[in-house]
Structure 1
Amino acid sequence: MQRRNLILAALTCLFSLVATPATAQIIDTPASHAVIMDYTTGEILFSKNGDEPMIPASMTKMMTAYLVFDMINRGEISLTDRLTVSEDAWRRGGFPSGTSTMGLVPKDTPTVEELLHGVIIMSGNDACIVLGEGLAGSEEAFAKRMTDLAHEKGLKSVNFLNATGLEAVGHVISAADLARLAKMTIEDYPQYYEWYDDPSYSWREYTQPNRNPLLEVAGADGLKTGHLEAAGYGLTASAVRDGVRRIIVINGLPTKAARASEGERMMRLAFQSYELKTIAPESVALPEQKVWLGQQGLVPVSLAEPMLIAGHKAAFEKAKTEIVLEKPLEAPIKKGDRVGKLVVTLEGRPPVEAPVIAEADVKKLGFFGRAVEGLSAMISGNDG
Structure 2
Amino acid sequence: MLARLFIATRTRLTGGLVLLALALGAPLPAAAFETAARAAIVIDHRSGDVLFAKNPDERLPPASMSKLMTAYMVFARLEEGSLRLDDEFPVSEKAWRTGGSKMFVKVGDRVTVEDLLRGVIVQSGNDACVVVAEALAGSEEAFAERMTRRARDIGLADSTFKNATGLPDPEHLTTVRDLATLARTIIAEFPDYYGFYALTEFEYAGIHQKNRNPLLQAGVPGVDGLKTGHTSEAGYGLVASAERDGRRLILVVAGLESERQRRMEAERLLEYAFRDFREYRLFAADEAVVEAPVWMGANDRVGLVPAGPVAVTLSREARDDLVVKLLYDAPVAAPIAAGQQLGRLQLSAPGLETRDVPLVAAHDVPPAGLLKRVQDAVSHLVGGAS
TM range (shorter): 0.7 to 0.9
Q: Secondary structure at the match of 2:152?
A: helix
* Alignment-derived partner of residue 234 in structure 2: 231
* Alignment-derived partner of residue 256 in structure 2: 253
State which of 274, 277, 294 in structure 1 corresponds to 2:277.
Answer: 274
Taking a change above 3 Å as real, the CA distance of residues 28 and 90 of structure 1, as seen in their structure-2 partners, is same
Question: What CA deviation, in whole Å up to 9, does each residue of 1:320-354 have, x standing for no partner?
Answer: 8698999xxxxxx95579999877431x3434567
State which of 78, 88, 93 in structure 1 corresponds to 2:84.
Answer: 78
The higher radius of gyration belongs to 1
**Residue 196 of structure 1 contacts residue 221 of structure 1 at CA under 8 Å; is this kept in 2?**
yes
CA distance in 1, matches of 2:80, 2:2: 50
Are 1:44 and 2:50 matched, yes or no? yes
Deviation at 1:308?
4.2
Structure 2 counterpart of 1:101, one-letter code: K
Q: Secondary structure at the match of 1:166?
A: coil
Structure 2 counterpart of 1:26, one-letter code: A
CA distance in 1, matches of 2:75, 2:191: 11
Deviation at 1:105?
2.4
* Alignment-derived partner of residue 167 in structure 2: 166
What runs of 5+ residues in structure 2 fail to find an aligned partner?
5-22, 290-303, 334-341, 360-379
CA distance in 2, matches of 1:176, 1:126: 27
CA distance in 2, matches of 1:80, 1:324: 52
* Alignment-derived partner of residue 349 in structure 2: 345
**Pairwise CA RMSD:** 3.5
CA distance in 1, matches of 2:82, 2:331: 54
CA distance in 1, matches of 2:131, 2:325: 57
Taking a change above 3 Å as real, the CA distance of residues 187 and 341 of structure 1, as seen in their structure-2 partners, is closer
CA distance in 2, matches of 1:252, 1:147: 22
Question: What CA deviation, in whole Å up to 9, does each residue of 1:148-176 have, x standing for no partner?
Answer: 22222222222111000111111122212
Are 1:35 and 2:45 matched, yes or no? no
State which of 65, 80, 85 in structure 2 corresponds to 1:59.
Answer: 65
Question: What CA deviation, in whole Å up to 9, does each residue of 1:168-206 have, x standing for no partner?
Answer: 111122212211211222222222211111111111211
Q: Secondary structure at the match of 1:350?
A: strand
Question: What CA deviation, in whole Å up to 9, does each residue of 1:193-251 have, x standing for no partner?
Answer: 11111111111211110000111111111000001112111111111111211111111
Taking a change above 3 Å as real, the CA distance of residues 324 and 130 of structure 1, as seen in their structure-2 partners, is closer
Residue correspondences, number: 322
Taking a change above 3 Å as real, the CA distance of residues 190 and 324 of structure 1, as seen in their structure-2 partners, is closer
**Residue 307 of structure 1 contacts residue 353 of structure 1 at CA under 8 Å; is this kept in 2?**
no
**Residue 139 of structure 1 contacts residue 162 of structure 1 at CA under 8 Å; is this kept in 2?**
yes
Q: Secondary structure at the match of 2:128?
A: helix
Taking a change above 3 Å as real, the CA distance of residues 304 and 364 of structure 1, as seen in their structure-2 partners, is farther
User: What TM-score does the superposition give when structure 2 sets the normalisation length?
Assistant: 0.73
Deviation at 1:86?
1.7
**Residue 49 of structure 2 contacts residue 353 of structure 2 at CA under 8 Å; is this kept in 1?**
no
* Alignment-derived partner of residue 311 in structure 1: 314
* Alignment-derived partner of residue 150 in structure 1: 151
Question: What CA deviation, in whole Å up to 9, does each residue of 1:9-43 have, x standing for no partner?
Answer: 7748xxxx996421432222211111111112222
Deviation at 1:136?
1.1
